[in-house]
Amino acid sequence: MTDPQRPAEGPAGVERFLSPGTDNEQYLLIAGDEALIVDPRGASSLRRLQRAGRRPVGVLLTHTHWDHIDGLPYILTAWPDLPVYVHAAGVPDLPPEARTVLLTDGDRLPFGGHDLVVREAPGHHPAHIVVRRDDLLLVGDVLFAAGCGRPAGADHMLDTARSVLQIVGEAEGDPWLAFGHDYAREGLAFAALVEPDNADIAAFAAAAAERAAEGRPEPWRRLSDERRVNPFLRTAEPTVREGLQRAGRPFDPTDTDVFAALRRWRSEQ
């Protein structure tokens, strides 16, 4: 687990930044002077690349909600032939001039001496993928700090649960997590409601409040952090199930149903 008080450095070869005036987290995977752009929001990815004099080799989209792709026109104006890596279900959301390269479950995309491994993770969005690079998991809006993405509708709850519990929750090792948004404070407030006696949640929430008061960004998190504080990865914990019971939220004792009860509760917050 990372120390909640001392910001973690995060993985090598990744630049992480918030799009100004938004809570959208953006990433550039870097290898030498080459960059792979993840989920461009507004003009900020383009500006960042140009400032550093880096050459983009592609755009990788975790999914195609507007706030993850509205930077594409800026980038494609500057580099019209840049490949845009995306799941087929997202293509209708993209500008028609985008040169799309379709990704599906198990695909490997070589970049910077690593294979980026693609897993389909629908639920929040039908085109959602998560992408693993050894020590890094690009989770987009599947998982957030102490939270998870909202299902695309009631009939997407099972997909959402599977994507969070299996695709992210059962990932091997202890990768750094690249979230699509910074929702840490809201997530931790909900987590504390579910598990009021969880000391890790209290420590992370206190550190997040301190950072927010000082205008400092949230640090990187590892999967092991989320396993200790994120209720959506803790569906088997008796304390999480007790939290649901205390709140008068009915559930069947399966991880999927506990997940669904938590997700519905969170959506009502």
Question: Which residues of the shown chain bind Zn ion in the complex (CB under 5 A)?
Answer: 67, 141, 180
As measured in angstroms, the least distance from the Cβ of 228 to Zn ion is 24
As measured in angstroms, the least distance from the Cβ of 125 to Zn ion is 9
Q: Which is nearer to Zn ion, 35 or 142 (CB)?
A: 142
Q: Which is nearer to Zn ion, 93 or 195 (CB)?
A: 93
The residue nearest Zn ion at its CB is 141
As measured in angstroms, the least distance from the Cβ of 239 to Zn ion is 29
Q: Which is nearer to Zn ion, 149 or 243 (CB)?
A: 149
As measured in angstroms, the least distance from the Cβ of 206 to Zn ion is 26
Q: Which is nearer to Zn ion, 141 or 186 (CB)?
A: 141
Upper half-sphere CA count for residue 137 (Cβ side, 13 Å): 26
Q: Which is nearer to Zn ion, 41 or 241 (CB)?
A: 41
